[in-house]
Each structure stands twice: as C-alpha cells, then as structure tokens.
Amino acid sequence: MKKSLTIILVLFVAIAVVYWANEYASDTVEANIEPSVRDFLEQHNGRYDSLDYDVLTNVLVIRNLSFEPNEATSQRVEIARVELRGADMANMQRVFDPPAGVDLNNRQKFYDLWSELVIEGLSVDNAERSNRIGKISLRDLQMKPLDGTSADLVMDGLLRAEDVAAVLLSVRFDALSIQDFRETTNRVPQIEAVRLIEMRQFDAGAIWKIQIEGLSGTTDDGDDVTMRALEVTALDLTRDLRLAGERMRRGENVFHDTAFETLRAEGIELIESDMIRPVRLEALIITELTLGRDIPASLSFELKAFDLPLETAEEISSQSGLAELGYTKIVLDLAYQATYDEKARRLAVQNLSVAIVDMAEIEFSGILHDVGLDDFTTEFDLSMLGSGVKLAEAHLHYADGSLIERLYEREARSRGIAKERIQAEIINRLGDQKMFFQLAPNGTATLAALKAFVKDPQTITIHVQPAVPIALGPLAIGALLSPQLALMTLNVTVTAND
C-alpha cells in the first residue's frame, strides 16, 4: 500500500508542477511558465536542470527534477525526465481549485486533464526504503473536482486512507504502465522487483485489467518468491475504497469486498531457507471471487504443475508411506469449481479434482444442503460438517496411475507371494459378502465392478444419490454401525474400467 501511495504522490506532484507552471497560460506562456515552476519548486524544496514547453504541440518537458525532504514528507524524490502532453490547464484548475460555491452535482462531472504523462528515471528514498522505477506512463487522465480538503492534502503530499479513497474514486484513465520497479528495504514482506505493471481502463475504483510481469520479493517468513506473470481482470475496488479509512482505523482488512472476474498467476517459485530446490507452481487460476466473503457465491480455481521440492516430497512420502512405494517426487494438478446459494444454503461442487503425476487422479462432484459458515472451522475441519449439512448427491471417479499396482507389489514382497495371489484374496473376501451386496439396490453390479477393479485397477466410479438429502453426521455413524444400511440408504452405483 505504501508503495502505491508513493507512486500516486509522485504522479500528483507532477500534476501540481504543471498546473502551477501554466496557471497564467496565454500568448506569453513561454515567459511565464519557467518562473511559475521555479516558484512552485521553491515552496516544495525542489529544483530542475531544464524546462522546455512547445506552445503549438502543448508538450512540456522537465529534466532532472528533484524534491528534497521537507516538513510535509521525509522522502527524497528524483526524476530524470517528465513529459506532459495535451494538458488542459483550465480543467486542472476546475479539479484542484474549483470555484467557490460549486454544488455537489457539478462535482460529478469528469474533466480531461491530459493525454499522456511520462515519468522516467524515478527514485524515491527515505530512511526505511529506496524505490527505483524506470518509467511510468499515464494516458488519458480524467478527474472529478476534489473538495478543498482532499485537494490540499494531495498538493501537500499528506494523504489519509479516506483521502486516498476520495481521490481514486474521482479518477479515470485509459492505461497506466510502470516499468522496471526496484525496491530496497530492511522490512519483510517486500516486493523487490517488478519488470512491468500495466493497468487498463481504470474507472473510479473499477479496473478492467492489471498485468504484472517479472515479480520477485520476500515473504513474512523471509522466504524468496518469484512470479513470471500475474493477470487480474475486472477488478472492482469501489466499496473497499469508500470504507478504506474506517477499516484501516479499526485494524481490519482494507480490501474485504474486492471482487474480480479472473486471476491468473504463472511461473511461481518459492525458495525456503532450508530447501535446496524451490516449490514450483506453473499456474494458479481463480475466477469469479469476492475476497472476504464467508462462502463465495461462485468460485473456480486451478493449480497446475504444483511441483514440491525433493526434501518436502520425501517428508510427505515418509509420513504417508508413499516412500515405501517408491514415490520421491510429487507433482500435482488441483481444480475446484463450485457455486453457493446463500438463501437456499446449497453448495453445488461441479468439480473437485486432484491429479498426481504417476500416482492417481481423483475427481469429485456433489450437492450439499444446509451449508453455512458455522459448518466450517477456520482450518476447514470437515469433521465439523456433521451437525446439519446434508448430502443430496455425490459422484467420485478414481483413475489409477501406479498407486494400486505398487500397493499390490509391496504387500506381495512383504509376504513373499505373487501379486496375483494378493488380488485373488481380495476378490475372495468380496465374494464372501455376496449376500450383503444382494440386499442393496444395484448391489450385484456393485460387487462385480469392485471385483473387476481389483483384478485390473484402471478406473472406478462411485455415484451416490439418496432419495432425500441425508445429514452427514448420522450417515457417518450409521455407516460404522451398519454398512449394509448405509449402502441401501445412499442408493450407490459403482462401475469399473469404463
């Protein structure tokens, strides 16, 4: 947030420079502009090497502009070059110094301020951090008139959270580009470098698209993280910005109601201090999410090629028994897609799937009734779902990569017998339950499918659809006491190797 405020302050300092420089724009503008800029800079501990203004093209260029710390700010700002094109000085005055008596209705109009502002070679330094930005470009800026308080705070570089919100909710622009950002600070977390940040179509708190490339930084725990690319589309901050000041004073999350259409992060690497190889994630994709909501009305996300480092994979393997099966590398894909009807308290999971390379794939879908926030703990403890949540339908599909075969082989080695004998023993035990299966709907077909999967473990699909939704708590207890009754109640269908 502080870095964003710094960038905003620098941009508005540039606005202020140009506004005061051109306050007396006329036929003698070239004679008036430099003294006006000089007066403004003297008031703000600033200086520059050269200034050029072309009246015909309305282009202003200032080179080697700098601001020393003063009573308003402890930051030292240096800018190698500022170029402003197509500035409308009359509109700048309407925005930053509106005439007395302007009513609220007139403050709702947006005014064109410039066609493009370019800032090159920007550095911002204070006792805590040092920021460097290669280039900033802001095109087609429009603003509503600011009230006196906000305008004064902008000019003085003193912004509270609510004033930042007031300014941002009064801004429109077509594109903002920030290139080659670098930060040096003694604090964590921190963003150390970003190659490119682009914002498209910002309209008073709503952003059509944000793209970030080449990001690197450090987490709260001091771990290094890099990201090849991040893209967010249809981001809406309007409600957050209106409540930012109040939330910040209460110590709450400022961006509680931020909504976006799509978030896609690519090429993520996390290097912990005690790891030889980083955790890698090729892609994280999230769609239709409002941050801070208890249960999102709609949520879809994917993790692609989540590659755990060898030492982490070995730890997981040893704790879960996977190491005995020969698994030392874990690379997985994870997907989740669901919708939630808050009024009906109905959660429909269209897809919850996990695919682990060379191991197995599991896909689940289902419908749960009477789902509310009270049914979830902060750690998402599924054992707490038993109180009132009801299962209306469920579909589970398992495809074996090598897991079942390796389980057979391990058991065969430990007992010194053939793998086929292990399979035959399991099939015989299933046959001993023939009478039990015959009592359940679809029981004969279910038994045949289980035997087929044991003999040739390729795929198995289980579909559950009780006549009426069943509470998970009583169902779990009933399944332990009477598996036959649970099987009959759930109306289970099983198929194998389809």
Which phi-psi region, left, alpha or beta, contains residue 493 (left: φ > 0; alpha: ψ -120 to 50)?
Answer: beta
Tell me phi and psi for residue 225, to 5 degrees. -135, 140
Here the tokens at position 164 are 């930042």
How does pLDDT run across 254-290, given as a tens digit for each residue?
777 788 889 999 999 988 766 667 788 899 999 888 7
Q: Quick one: how far is CA 37 from the chain centroid? A: 42
DSSP conformational letter for 106: G
pLDDT band of residue 23 (cuts 50, 70, 90) is: very low
Strand boundaries in 86-128, DSSP class E: 111-125
Is the confidence at residue 338, as pLDDT, over 50?
A: yes
Here the tokens at position 291 are 């941050």
Cα–Cα distance, 264 to 278 (Å, whole number)? 20
Cα–Cα distance, 121 to 133 (Å, whole number)? 6
Inter-residue long-range contacts of 485-488, CB under 8 Å, 24+ positions, other chains counted: 487/440, 487/443, 487/446, 488/439, 488/440, 488/441
Q: Between 78 and 9, where is the model more confident?
A: 78
C-alpha torsion angle, residues 138, 141, 145, 150 (rounded to 10): -10
pTM of the model: 0.77
Strand boundaries in 144-222, DSSP class E: 171-185, 190-203, 206-218
Q: Per-residue b/e over 65-101, b at no fewer than 16 CB within 10 Å?
A: bbbeeeeebebebebbbbbbbbbbbebbbbbbbbeee
Is position 10 within any domain?
A: yes
Cα–Cα distance, 88 to 299 (Å, whole number)? 44
- Nearest CA among 54, 18, 15, 50 for reference residue 36: 18
Is the confidence at residue 26, as pLDDT, over 50?
A: no
Cα–Cα distance, 21 to 399 (Å, whole number)? 71
Give me the mean pLDDT over the 19-28 stretch: 42
Is position 418 within any domain?
A: no
Cα–Cα distance, 65 to 163 (Å, whole number)? 26
pLDDT band of residue 308 (cuts 50, 70, 90) is: confident
pLDDT band of residue 61 (cuts 50, 70, 90) is: very high
Is the confidence at residue 332, as pLDDT, over 60?
A: yes
Is the confidence at residue 353, as pLDDT, over 80?
A: yes
- Give me the pLDDT at residue 29, please: 46
Is position 271 within any domain?
A: no
Our count of domains for the chain comes to 1
Cα–Cα distance, 125 to 211 (Å, whole number)? 26
Inter-residue long-range contacts of 424-433, CB under 8 Å, 24+ positions, other chains counted: 426/454, 427/451, 427/454, 427/455, 430/454
Mean pLDDT over the full length of the chain: 81
- In one-letter notation, the amino acid at residue 380 is F
Is position 224 within any domain?
A: no
Cα–Cα distance, 66 to 41 (Å, whole number)? 9
Ranges 32-41, 198-207, 294-303, 363-372: which has the least confidence: 32-41
Is the confidence at residue 22, as pLDDT, over 80?
A: no
How does pLDDT run across 137-178, given as a tens digit for each residue?
999 999 888 766 555 555 555 556 666 777 788 899 999 999
Is the confidence at residue 19, as pLDDT, over 50?
A: no
Is position 153 within any domain?
A: yes
How does pLDDT run across 361-401, given as a tens digit for each residue?
999 999 999 887 665 544 444 544 455 788 999 999 999 99
Q: First-to-last CA distance in the chain?
A: 54
DSSP conformational letter for 423: H
Ranges 43-52, 95-104, 453-462, 472-481: which has the least confidence: 95-104
Is the confidence at residue 313, as pLDDT, over 60?
A: no
Cα–Cα distance, 67 to 472 (Å, whole number)? 66
Cα–Cα distance, 349 to 416 (Å, whole number)? 44
Number of H helices, E strands in the chain: 13, 20
Please tell me which of 54-68, 89-103, 243-257, 272-286 the model is most confident about, judged by mean pLDDT. 54-68
Is position 93 within any domain?
A: yes
- In one-letter notation, the amino acid at residue 312 is T
- Nearest CA among 111, 58, 60, 110 for reference residue 86: 58
**How many residues make up the chain in this entry?**
498
Q: Between 288 and 50, where is the model more confident?
A: 50
Cα–Cα distance, 7 to 164 (Å, whole number)? 12
Contact residues for 383 (Cβ-Cβ < 8 A; gap 6+): none
Q: Between 321 and 399, where is the model more confident?
A: 399
- Nearest CA among 239, 99, 97 for reference residue 168: 239
Give me the mean pLDDT over the 27-32 stretch: 47
Cα–Cα distance, 433 to 446 (Å, whole number)? 12
- Give me the pLDDT at residue 13, please: 44
Is position 135 within any domain?
A: yes
Instruction: For residue 6, give its domain range.
Output: 1-178
Q: Give the Å distances, CA to CA, from 156 to 13, 45, 153.
A: 9, 12, 5
- Nearest CA among 156, 119, 122 for reference residue 136: 119
**Which residues are bridge partners to 137 per DSSP?**
118, 177
Residues above pLDDT 90, as percent of the chain: 39
Is position 208 within any domain?
A: no
- Nearest CA among 182, 181, 376, 407 for reference residue 294: 376
pLDDT band of residue 233 (cuts 50, 70, 90) is: very high
